[in-house]
Structure 1
């Protein structure tokens, strides 16, 4: 895991020795072990490295023996051992044990077609000096970020957009249209950010840069349709078990110890069990617990840890912790957030790194692959609404979200009316998410510009996606979860960005391509939704505590606006001060003040979900504006020893290799 950055800009390369180290310094937290960069007459690129595979000789950038091709790589290639053997048999030369060199040699051998062979989490840049070409790519599920800014005469790219601050003349401005879309759907769309002129390379995509030409194409379209499977239920269970066994085995490949995030739920418990089975040492597990019992799952975490014999460590989180660390966590997220659950993960990753662990496994992606969210059962229920009796509707509603008070029996009549209202599609292509998007629509009232439909770009995305219209309602829901909340929030704001804030790499076995394909083959055939993730439960029931398998799913949540009401942190003045609030140009200060005043004056139990989410979105946007647009201090410039650790620089301008320090 690392951070990469650079530019294709002939006018800037004369200042590369000033600009590149500054860009790398701003993302040093992603790779504090060493840094290096490459420069030629038109392109400069660098890597801040977190050493996990081939610690001693895997320094970046890496070139091929001819020095025509150079790579800066962020991430891990889990099947690098197998690909190395295949490439060596084809005559490709290797000088290191690193997966980075495997990626480079695969690109030289197969070109962009190599991407479909990769099982990994990555974003990388390859320079072809002879063809004067820059190639950028991102993994198929968007596990690793890659931002770019296309400006006249230059293209900037980086793992985090804060790196652009080091580029002369670059300024951050919030984009009202993208902010509206993000408020409405809870996350930037796959190729967007909330800052003007800054985009993301979408998941499963690559870009070729030649002079002023940019060509972006999808190399791996997201597929959620069912795959053929000829076996029975027992074979389906075995397929799930074997694919996950192999996925965890691949992700334990590391030259450093690998730990596990243990939430106490089914998914992380499965990952933990497989890790204990496959790891040569006692597995270390880490979790967050909460002072507030409403959010705490510590007893379930301890049950699994004791059953599997892990060395367990829990970090207790209070509302004061969330309030104190919210601004720093938002700064690393670089996007507005609709809930605070990412802040405990920010603190947990710091605890993990302080415990000496650089790499962690998690259960992220299981609910998307194996249809674990209540959203999927809700979608099926709404689609079948007209065919059910009132009693059948009530029975089905009772099982949707048993952990939420507003789904209890006292609210059942209200829910009947709500589901009746949303039993027919009103937002073309977005049927599954229509109820949830009402909360997002409320949040867009915080913005001055309400003339543009905040869902317009999402409508366009689903409309223009080949084959989307032919999917079932459940498959469309799954597609939307992969494309929006998973890639845009769970893997980024709550996942990768919080981990790398403290130099901790997150690996996700449930997003292994073979696991996802197995789920597509057997999910809808052998799981009718009455028992969520039945196949996963059957596959691992014998090796987990019975309570871990049978207990209802409890979504990971954290205290919301209540934490800020109780603590009244100093930065809350960004919302309480009319002067500060009016500085955020896209925000309607009148509606914003009404919302803030209501939140501050209303008991926490009486604040609605949509109001709570809107408040967190507003506060996180205010922090982003303060720290990026207004230019309050951003991190950068120091590794663990207090200085950026430049090890190797390749300077093709003078054909010289410059030595540095580690």
Structure 2
């Protein structure tokens, strides 16, 4: 796991390039505290900070092939690098290291972009062809690792985190009201978007070619949410799923450093922990978040699973004060407005894991998307079949959708029945499954001065996907979850970005392509979709505590606006002061002040979900504006303590000496 950064510029003075790339890398040093290096070529500079996990002695970056024509900066892991290396050796490709970075480079040289479909991993990478002058950027198929770029009319910047652009001469951040409208409406940036003007992210399953100053985007992998139904028995399907998951965990345990597990206490992380204990030759360490507020706490389930499986368990207890204190730092690493605070405890958990000496973590992300674990999928099934179901069956299914939410209780049943009746017919073409959810986001868009059409870009996203129209309603819901909330929030804001803030890499066994294909083949084959993750439970029956298989799903949640009302952190003044609020040019101050006043004066139980989400959006946007637009260091949290010895891997500019090594410290 690493971070990369670079730029292509015909305008920057040659003698300025080393200082600029060193400063860019210093801003993402938390991603790779072990070492750093950079490469210079005519018009191009790129570098990497490294978190050493595979081939600790020999995996330094940037890395070249023996001819020094091709150079790579690689962020992430190829879990199948062993098999790929053997295949490439048989084809005559030379290897000097045991690193997966070299495998990625040699695979690109051998197969070109076609190599990307062979990769089983979580990665973003930049490859320079020193002969053609081309630059290639690529990202994994599920968007596990970030890669941002800015095309500045002749200058091209790229980095694992946008904050690296702060070090480029003349670069300025500016919030984009249109993108904020879309983010507020659908809860996350769309696959190629960011909240800032002029900055894009490489979409999941995509690569980019920069040639003669012009970039082109390509898609190498489409999502697989449809598959031929599994033809065997239920027992055979359960065995198939279990074996596919076992192989996925086994691949992700490949590491030259210890691999831990995040254990939430739910089914998915319990399965990952079970398989990790089966496959590891040593005691497995597990880590979890507990909450002072028992409304959100799952520590009892966590300790039960850890005890049952015999792991060495460690947890942190997070209070409202902890969330309030760390909120600005977590926003700085997330680089995007957030609609809830659940990413902050994950920021604290990764710090705890890092302090325990862990660099690599397995987690359960992706299971709910692959195996239909969210109530969203049951909602979609219910709404899609609403007019075919008898009234009593509708009521039974409605009652079981959200047992954890008070506003889905019996007292609200009449209102909910009317709501589901209202949304049983599609209003936004292609977005049927998410229309109910998006009502909360629609409220948040009222924070903006100028509003156009908050769902225009989401509608365009599904309209332009050739495979989308043929999917079933549930498959469309899956597709949208993969493309939006999973990649844009769960894997990034709440996952990768919080982990790498403290140099901890997360690996997701449920997002192995083989597991996703297996899930698509068995989903809805042996149940009606209302028995949550039935096939997973059958696959691991008798191997986990009974409660892990029988208790209803409890979504991971954290306290929201109540935290800030109770704690009154200094940065709350960004919303309470008219002068501070005015610095947010895109925000409607009148609506914002009414919302803030209601939140601050109303009992928590009387604050609706949409109001709570809108408040967290507003506060995180205000903090983000201070950090990136106003460039106020005091809002960015404590700087990384990591000190990097940065070296020039090669300087290939015209009339420069052969490769040299110089030292410096970030």
Q: TM-score, normalised by structure 2?
A: 0.98
Deviation at 1:231, TM superposition (A): 1.5
Taking the TM superposition and a 5 Å limit, the aligned residue runs for 1:185-204 are 185-204=186-205
Separation in 2, partners of 1:277, 1:521 = 26
Kept in 2: contact 1:26–1:636 (CA 8 A): no
Q: 1:375 corresponds to which residue?
A: 376
Kept in 1: contact 2:4–2:25 (CA 8 A): yes
| Secondary structure of residue in 1 paired with 2:184 | helix
Q: 1:657 aligns with which of 647, 656, 659?
A: 659
Separation in 2, partners of 1:524, 1:80 = 34
| Secondary structure of residue in 2 paired with 1:10 | coil
* Structure-2 change in CA distance of 1:134 and 1:567 (3 Å): same
Kept in 1: contact 2:329–2:638 (CA 8 A): no
- The alignment status of 1:624 with 2:624, answered yes or no, reads yes
Q: Which moved more, 1:344-353 or 1:628-637?
A: 628-637
Deviation at 1:658, TM superposition (A): 2.4
Separation in 2, partners of 1:484, 1:458 = 9
Kept in 2: contact 1:637–1:644 (CA 8 A): no
Cα distance per residue 1:74-101 (max 9 Å; x no partner): 0000000000001011111111110000
Separation in 1, partners of 2:38, 2:649 = 5
Q: Which moved more, 1:478-487 or 1:226-235?
A: 226-235
Q: 1:162 corresponds to which residue?
A: 163
Kept in 1: contact 2:121–2:140 (CA 8 A): yes
Separation in 2, partners of 1:18, 1:660 = 13
Cα distance per residue 1:38-85 (max 9 Å; x no partner): 110021110000000011111001100000000000000000000000
| Secondary structure of residue in 1 paired with 2:469 | helix
| Secondary structure of residue in 1 paired with 2:587 | coil
Deviation at 1:531, TM superposition (A): 1.2
Deviation at 1:320, TM superposition (A): 0.7
- The alignment status of 1:457 with 2:452, answered yes or no, reads no
Separation in 2, partners of 1:385, 1:548 = 31
Taking the TM superposition and a 5 Å limit, the aligned residue runs for 1:450-529 are 450=451, 452-529=452-529
Separation in 2, partners of 1:6, 1:638 = 21
Cα distance per residue 1:210-247 (max 9 Å; x no partner): 02221101000112113243222122111100110000
Kept in 1: contact 2:383–2:424 (CA 8 A): yes
* Structure-2 change in CA distance of 1:13 and 1:275 (3 Å): farther
Separation in 2, partners of 1:433, 1:204 = 23
Structure 2: gaps (5+ residues): none
Q: 2:615 corresponds to which residue?
A: 615
Q: 2:395 corresponds to which residue?
A: 394
Q: Which moved more, 1:407-416 or 1:569-578?
A: 407-416
Kept in 2: contact 1:27–1:636 (CA 8 A): no
Deviation at 1:636, TM superposition (A): 11
Q: 1:550 corresponds to which residue?
A: 550
Q: Which moved more, 1:228-237 or 1:135-144?
A: 228-237
| Secondary structure of residue in 2 paired with 1:70 | strand
- The alignment status of 1:334 with 2:335, answered yes or no, reads yes
Separation in 2, partners of 1:98, 1:13 = 34
* Structure-2 change in CA distance of 1:274 and 1:660 (3 Å): farther
| Secondary structure of residue in 2 paired with 1:91 | coil
Q: 2:531 corresponds to which residue?
A: 531
Kept in 1: contact 2:138–2:207 (CA 8 A): yes
Separation in 2, partners of 1:378, 1:251 = 33
Q: 1:321 corresponds to which residue?
A: 322
Separation in 1, partners of 2:638, 2:167 = 11
Q: Which moved more, 1:132-141 or 1:400-409?
A: 400-409
| Secondary structure of residue in 2 paired with 1:382 | helix
Deviation at 1:467, TM superposition (A): 2.2
* Structure-2 change in CA distance of 1:65 and 1:72 (3 Å): same
Separation in 1, partners of 2:556, 2:146 = 23
Separation in 2, partners of 1:612, 1:527 = 35
Separation in 1, partners of 2:428, 2:181 = 17
Separation in 1, partners of 2:343, 2:353 = 15
Number of residue pairs the alignment of both structures matches = 660
Cα distance per residue 1:97-146 (max 9 Å; x no partner): 10000000000000000000000000000000001100000000000000
Deviation at 1:511, TM superposition (A): 0.1
Kept in 1: contact 2:148–2:161 (CA 8 A): yes
| Secondary structure of residue in 2 paired with 1:12 | coil
Kept in 2: contact 1:138–1:204 (CA 8 A): yes
Deviation at 1:635, TM superposition (A): 6.3
Taking the TM superposition and a 5 Å limit, the aligned residue runs for 1:220-619 are 220-450=221-451, 452-619=452-619
Separation in 1, partners of 2:210, 2:472 = 38
Deviation at 1:523, TM superposition (A): 1.0
Kept in 2: contact 1:25–1:638 (CA 8 A): no
Deviation at 1:541, TM superposition (A): 1.3
Separation in 1, partners of 2:447, 2:118 = 45
Kept in 2: contact 1:128–1:134 (CA 8 A): yes
Separation in 2, partners of 1:561, 1:430 = 28
Separation in 2, partners of 1:77, 1:429 = 34
Deviation at 1:655, TM superposition (A): 4.5
* Structure-2 change in CA distance of 1:293 and 1:524 (3 Å): same
Cα RMSD of the aligned pairs, angstroms, is 1.3
Deviation at 1:253, TM superposition (A): 0.4
Kept in 2: contact 1:7–1:155 (CA 8 A): yes
* Structure-2 change in CA distance of 1:140 and 1:655 (3 Å): farther
Kept in 2: contact 1:28–1:644 (CA 8 A): yes
Cα distance per residue 1:528-553 (max 9 Å; x no partner): 21311011000111210011111000
Kept in 2: contact 1:379–1:474 (CA 8 A): yes
* Structure-2 change in CA distance of 1:142 and 1:20 (3 Å): same
* Structure-2 change in CA distance of 1:34 and 1:638 (3 Å): farther
Separation in 2, partners of 1:287, 1:622 = 30
Separation in 2, partners of 1:421, 1:433 = 14
Cα distance per residue 1:291-315 (max 9 Å; x no partner): 1111000000000000000000010
Q: Which moved more, 1:273-282 or 1:12-21?
A: 12-21
Deviation at 1:561, TM superposition (A): 0.3
Q: TM-score, normalised by structure 1?
A: 0.98
Q: 2:6 corresponds to which residue?
A: 6
Structure 1: gaps (5+ residues): none
